Amino acid sequence: MGSKTQDDIADIFSMSEAGIFPSYKEPFGMVFLECLACGTPVIGARSGGPVEFVKDELGALIPEDEDWRNETGARRLGERLANMISLSLVSNWKGMSKGKNCVPYVEKNYSTIAQCENMLKNMKEWSKPGKEVPEEEEEESESYSLALADGRRVKMCGEDDVAVTISLVEEFQEAAKLAIKAKDAFSVALPGGTVVQSLDKVPKKKVDWTKVHVFFVHERIGEYKVHKNAMKSFINKFKIPEENVHKVGEGSPEEAAAAYEALLRGQPRNIVGISPGGIPSVDFMLLGPGEDGNAGRLEPDKDQIKATGQGKVVLPIPDDGGKASVTASMDFICAAKRVVLCAPSEKRSRMVCRALQKGGFDCPASMVQAKKTLWLVDQESIKDWKEWRETEPAEPEPAEPVEESPLAQYASFWDLPGIKKGVITGDAAWTLLEYAKFKGFAIPAFNCTSTSTVNAVLEAGKQLNRPVIVQFSEGGSAFFAGKSLPNSVKQASVLGAVAGAHYVRSVAPAYGIPVLVHSDHCAKKLLPWFDGMLDFDEAFFRYKGEPLFSSHMLDLSEEPHEENISICKKYLERMAKVNLILEMEIGITGGVEDGVDNSGVAKDKLYSTPEEVWQVHEALSPISEKFTIAAAFGNVHGVYKPGNVVLRPELLGEFQKHASEQLGGVSKPLMFVFHGGSGSEKHLIDEARSHGVVKMNIDTDTQWAYWEGILKFYGTNSNFLQAQIGNPDGADKPNKNYYDPRKWVREAEVSMCKRVVESCTDLQNVN
């Protein structure tokens, strides 16, 4: 754009052109379109869209339509439009000189008005500049895509293998970007043949190639043609580090297969995961099935394909055309997070027809069914199958079709959109809680009062490779900042909570797990603390596009029911603007917690009713979906003798049933939180989980665990802790190695860490 400032550019291309929004400065959710001539962002800077989306290099332009307000949908739409822009504009923009020609060209051909009109009408692919495309021609040129009943997808990519290549590049690029963002690594398994050559069309700058790890679907021992082909067509071009290329070793086929399986299983879990069945799981597996329907070197009706279901990973082939080979098993193929099968050309049409009808050992490609399985075909290679579909009588539809949750496609929480190492917020945090409910586990939340207790929680999460929640109470927050600070208007509590949140944000990525940061029980008298934290959330959002915290809890259960809901509504309206999650309490949790004494409350107040819970959902759901309910079912803070506390987790099931009836049969529509979890019996925890508990608070048990670590250390070393000098080893021997806080505080952390692991295990928050 030459010397033009971002403000000038934004003025030219603001949404106010279309009369939809009053100013480009309003948070309407616009993203960047990068000029392919000079690399300058055409649309600028002030956007309220999802934070991952607002980047110069994404190259996509969309207004945030109501249907695309969630982060996943916006990203998916943006990537689609980015590909459209790249394909349709690259040839026209490449030859333009820097600066002076860019603005007039965009104004003439791609004004915001024109793009909005096209997109908001039908979101069809834009025609190329200067060319009118009749509707019927445009309809025929669109990709033909469908989902089979068994979950496999088929995409007919046009009339030739060029279109198949474009689709393969898009799939690879998307998978790599999501994996690297989520876990800082992307693993791909490559076959032999020409299909690998298509990957050299991936734009170099769209993938961090230092994070890509290459494995091989099959290989001939001694010849290593698959490895050599990949080096020539793919690896060398993108300068993938040598240590990231995992070649099949020497030896007999049995030795090579065993060694390669050990190599796969020995990879860090962020590179090669483990499926629920215990099989190594790569992020992306590419296959180019031949006319006989082979998959890798799994040939029709051979011993290797018949080993399917035996839990094998890499199989030896003693005689593969006179050579010894190894190949990925079907179990290993299907354990991949994403498998793409490329089958262009008319010669493969009959094979595709057989494979899509779900054959068996006679067509190994038909047995490929990973979590995400995509066939990329052209018109010729799919013609037999299309004819078969037209002549085959349609299967009768089930009387009551069951809609599978979209969360079923994710094998692990690491696969969820937006999940990363470190603090997660907004859509990513909410999707994780939804996934917990779907999978039947809950994430424990631990009250922390210092960096030491935070470290103990994060250490346990790292040991388990599981998400955890760090939460700060009002009193704990004040202690975090320093107990000596004045706190008349909760200023020390605000400071401590904010400092704690920043500390977690600073260190959590090093522990390699997703972490939610939460503030615990805020009663009405503590609202200045709540308001102060929200002020910091809003300031953080203005600069980072996300709140400082993941969620906050309002505990107004002591107030009248109507007032509780009314205040929660007011705060949720404010929180929704910065994508925060609200936790609210209805009914009273007994006992004493952080200075709030409910030990004398009437017992009937310890149990919520279905009607009360529904009233909360009815009031809050129109504002935002992001709220959880700490409904009372006999919960009590602290630890008490058996029989003194009567937990009734079956009430949570009644609450879910009542809400489901009001919503037309939606399964478990409510998200529950279990307060007063310390000391609870495991079978009661299990029942609570089964009714939609996604978070459970732990404080008393971890307080004791932290102290117990110090107590045991003192008990073992008391003779060395009576003076600075002098112990059983000698009157002049120093004791510094015993009274150094790093010694006994560390013992407290280790003890607390063990208790955190125990809580995660109780809640099935384990791999």
Active site residues: 520
On the CB side of 541, CA atoms within 13 Å amount to: 23
Determine how many CB atoms are found less than 10 A away from the CB of residue 719: 12
| Cα 307 from chain centroid (whole Å) | 33
The residues facing 212 across adjacent strands are 186
Q: Which residue has the tokens 């690998």?
A: 196
Do 287 and 295 form a contact (C-beta atoms < 8 A)?
A: yes
Phi-psi region of 332 (alpha: psi -120 to 50; beta: other; left: phi over 0): alpha
Do 136 and 126 form a contact (C-beta atoms < 8 A)?
A: no
- Cα–Cα dist 541/524, whole Å: 25
- Cα–Cα dist 186/209, whole Å: 9
Q: How far apart are the first and last CA of the chain?
A: 51
Radius of gyration from C-alpha coordinates of the chain:
29
Q: Which residue has the tokens 């390669």?
A: 260
Do 584 and 600 form a contact (C-beta atoms < 8 A)?
A: no
Q: Which residue has the tokens 């040991």?
A: 463
Helix (H) or strand (E) holding 317: strand 314-320
Query: SS3 sequence, 88-107?
Result: HHHHHHCCCCCCCCHHHHHH
What three-state secondary structure class fits 344?
coil
Q: Kindly state the DSSP code that residue 620 receives in the 8-state scheme.
A: H
- Cα–Cα dist 211/747, whole Å: 37
Which structure tokens are listed for 593?
A: 């917690």
Which structure tokens are listed for 601?
A: 């409350």
Do 274 and 767 form a contact (C-beta atoms < 8 A)?
A: yes
E-strand stretches of 607-686:
627-631, 672-674
The residues facing 641 across adjacent strands are none
Determine how many CB atoms are found less than 10 A away from the CB of residue 76: 14
Do 660 and 669 form a contact (C-beta atoms < 8 A)?
A: yes
Output the CA torsion sign for 201, 206, 207, 208. positive
Which structure tokens are listed for 49?
A: 């869209």
Query: SS3 sequence, 452-468?
Result: HHHHHHHHHHHHHCCCE
Do 569 and 619 form a contact (C-beta atoms < 8 A)?
A: yes
For 151, residues 6+ apart whose C-beta sits below 8 A from its C-beta are: 369, 373
Determine how many CB atoms are found less than 10 A away from the CB of residue 566: 13
- Cα–Cα dist 631/586, whole Å: 5
